[in-house]
Amino acid sequence: MSTEAIVMMVIAMLLLWGGLVVAVISLNRRPDPSDESYDPDHLHRDL
């Protein structure tokens, strides 16, 4: 493969796959309200 092709492949991977990883991480920082662990009632019981 030519250097130019490798560079473009790596850029595409970084942007799309890297972007996906960032999107997943930032979404997971916010709890899912429909998830049981987020339930305020459950939280009370745990406390």
Partner 1 sequence: MATAGPQDGTQQTGGQEARRGAFSSRKVFILAAIGSAVGLGNIWRFPYVAYENGGGAFVIPYLIALLTAGLPFLFLDYALGHKHRGSAPLSMARENRKAEPLGWWQVGICFVIAVYYAVIIAYALRYTFFSVNKAWGDDPEGYFFGEFLQTSDPGVTLDFVAGVLIALLVVWAAVLLIMGLGVQKGIGATSVVFIPLLVLAFGFLVVRALFLPGAADGLDTLFTPDWDALTNASVWAAAFGQIFFSLSIGFGIMITYASYVGRRTDMTGSGMVVGLSNSGFELLAGIGVFAALGFMAQANGTAVDEVVADGIGLAFVAFPTIISEAAGGSLIGVLFFGSLVIAGLTSLISVLEVVVSAVRDKFDLRRLTAVLVVGVPATVLSVVLFSTTSGLLVLDIVDYFINQFGILLVAVVTMVVLGLALRALPGLAAHLNRHGSLRLGKVWMAMVAVVTPLALGYVLVRAFIDTVKEPYGGYPDWMLNVFGWGTAALVLIVALVITFARRTAVTPADETDQEVDR
Task: Report the interface residues with partner 1, using CB under 8 A.
Answer: 1-2, 4-9, 11-13, 15-17, 19-20, 23-24, 26-27, 30, 32-36, 38-41
Are the CB atoms for 30 and 24 separated by under 8 Å?
no
Based on CB atoms, which residue is closest to partner 1, 16 or 47?
16
Sign of CA dihedral 13, 17, 19, 21: negative
Q: Closest distance between partner 1 and the C-beta of residue 45, in Å?
A: 12
Beta carbon of residue 19, minimum distance to partner 1 (angstroms, whole number): 5
Whose tokens are 């092709």? That residue is: 5
Residue written as token pair 């960032």: 22
